[in-house]
Structure 1
Amino acid sequence: MPFLVLILAVWMKKCLILRLWLQRDGLWLRELTKLELSTRMVKQPWLILILLVLLPVILLALLLSMLEPMAYGLLVFPVHLLVVIYSLGRGDLLADLRQFRNAFYCGDFQAFENVAKYDFKVASTSSEQLLKLVQGYLLWQAYQSFFAVIFWFFLFGPVTVLAYRLLALISEHSQNSLLTERTKQLRHVFDWLPVRMLSVSFALVGNFVAVSRVMQHELLNLDICAAQLIEKVGLVAIEIQSPLTEVDSINSLDRLWALLLRAAVLWYAWFAIWTVLI
């Protein structure tokens, strides 16, 4: 069943209207804001995490345990699928990438900067630096929006991926420095294994020798964050060498996207083989 859920999730991921309908965070984000503004909660980040992450995860686990004996477990399937779709990243990364690339080729530098600022959440006065920041953003968002989700779902099911997405939402929206710090610590633990698995995948579908050199130093490095590691490995996997012209840099985004697609196909092949063998 996990493999079938992941196949359907990829197909439904392309339906932006459905995703927008399912990925409604407004009520949850209002609760986050309310707790952060509470004078009793402001210095108790772990309590906020218990209420906003652990409690929904426990409720989901109870729901699944109740549905499991009913209708031969068939009622569990739609819950798994809905949770996976909800736990995928927000927005449409490919559409943003196309808009960014089109603005560059049209020579509209203002639109180029605006897309980077509002869609990719990066800004720089230098076009070269801006393109480098977008490269890192593309790799990180593809990882945390998709690869980390399907990795944890295949291993441990919907409860884990829901916890991962709720932690990601807190990281993105929290205004409490203590809460943000604790959330980053938890996400670092969640990201340690899947980001290294994706790095190994980049070696298999990209420049094996270059990625291997990087991973020799970073494989067991507990300090490097997932975003830094995936950017470093992704760029060497497609053999990007500085300095690059602006055209080369913008074309590198297409090469990175192709690398991510090859890695996704490889992961699904692994999942299929594992499902057949087990």
Structure 2
Amino acid sequence: MSFLVLLLAVWIEKFSALRQRVQRDGWWLKELARLEASPRLAGHPWCLLLVLVLLPVALLGLLLLVLEPVTYGLLALPVHLLVVIYALGRGDLLGGLGPFRDAWRREDLQAAVHVAKRDLNIDADNGEQLLERVQGYLLWQAFQSFFVVIFWYFLLGPVAALSYRLLALAAEHGKNPALVERAAQLRHAFDWLPVRLLAASFALVGNFVAVSRVMLHELLNWHISAAQLVEKVGLVAAEIPPPLAGPEGINSLDRIWELQLRAAVLWYAGFALWTVLA
């Protein structure tokens, strides 16, 4: 069922607006703000995470435990699908890059800086740094929006996928520094294995030798973040040249996206093979 859910999730992502209707975080963010303001819980970040992450995940697990034996699990299928869609990243990654691409293609650095700050929340001191940060943004967002979610869903099911997204929301929107720190630590643990598997995928579908050189030093490095690692590996795998203004700079973003598409196809082929052999 896991592979079927992943196929349906991609189809819905491409051809349906269901994702926008499912990914509504307002209720959870309100509860986050309310609990962070509570004098009793403000100094206990682990208790906050128990309520904000473990409680919803436990309720989901209980629901699935009830539904799985019924009609051979068919009633659980829509729950799996909705959870996976909810756990995917927020926003339209390619659509959000559109204004930046247009400004960079025109070699309008001022407009590129403005739209990067407005749409991507990226600041830079110069044009080269700006393009490098947008390239890193594309790699990181694709990883945290898609690859890590489908990895944990396929390996451990919807409970793991939902746990990752709630931890990500806590780390990104939390106001309590202790809560944000602990959510980020747990998210880093979730990221550690799939980002290395994605790096191996980039090696297979990109520049194998260049990726191997990077991973030789970073394979077991616990302290490097997933965002840093996926950026380092992605740029060498796609053989991205130094930042250039105009169409050549935009071409680098296209090459990164194509690399990620090839890696996604490789992952789905691996999932399919595992499903057949298991």
User: What range describes the TM-score normalised by the shorter chain of this pair?
Assistant: over 0.9
Match of 1:115 in 2: 115
Closer/same/farther in 2, CA of residues 245 and 110 from structure 1, 3 Å limit: closer
Matched residue type, 2:61: A
Q: Distance in 2 between matches of 1:211 and 1:70?
A: 46
Aligned ranges 1:184-199 → 2 under 5 Å: 184-199=184-199
Contact residue 201 and residue 266 of structure 2 kept, 8 A: yes
Alignment of 1:1-278 (within 5 A): 1-15=1-15, 17-242=17-242, 244-247=243-246, 248-278=248-278
Task: List structure 1 runs of 4+ shifted beyond 3 angstroms.
Answer: 106-111
The CA deviation string for residues 137-172 of structure 1, in whole angstroms up to 9 with x for no partner, is: 110000000000000001010000000000011111
> What SS does the corresponding residue of 1:246 show, helix, strand or coil?
coil
Question: 1:246 deviation in Å?
Answer: 2.0
Kindly indicate whether the alpha-carbon contact (under 8 Å) linking 1:96 and 1:119 is maintained by their aligned counterparts in 2.
yes
2: CA distance, partners of 1:82 / 1:15: 15
| 1:190 shift after superposition | 0.4
108 and 246 in structure 1: CA distance in 2 versus 1, 3 angstrom threshold: closer
User: Structure 1 length normalisation: TM-score?
Assistant: 0.96
With normalisation by structure 2, the TM-score equals: 0.96
Query: Distance in 2 between the 1:151 and 1:191 partners?
Result: 10
Q: Report the CA distance between 1:78 and its aligned residue.
A: 0.5
* Paired amino acid for 1:40: R
Distance 1:115 1:260 in 2: 24
Q: Distance in 2 between matches of 1:240 and 1:142?
A: 17
Conserved in 1, the CA contact under 8 Å of 2:105 and 2:245?
no
CA contact (8 A) 1:122 1:133 kept: yes
- 2 CA distance for matches of 1:207 and 1:143? 19
Q: Distance in 1 between matches of 2:271 and 2:16?
A: 25
Please state how far the C-alpha of 1:3 moved relative to its aligned partner. 0.4
CA distance in 1, matches of 2:132, 2:105: 17
SS of the equivalent of 1:90 reads coil
Specify the SS of the correspondent of 1:79.
helix
Question: Residues 35 and 48 of structure 2 are in contact (CA less than 8 Å); yes or no, is this contact kept in structure 1?
Answer: yes
Q: Please report how far the alpha carbon of residue 120 of structure 1 lies from its aligned counterpart in structure 2 after TM superposition.
A: 1.5
The superposition leaves residues 27-52 of structure 1 with CA deviations (integer Å, 9 ceiling, x where unpaired) of 10000011111222221110010000
- Tell me the CA shift for residue 239 of structure 1: 1.5
8 Å Cα contact 1:16-1:92 kept in structure 2:
no
Structure 1 residue 58 displacement after superposition: 0.2
- Give the aligned residue type for 1:211: V
Gapped regions of structure 2 (runs ≥ 5): none
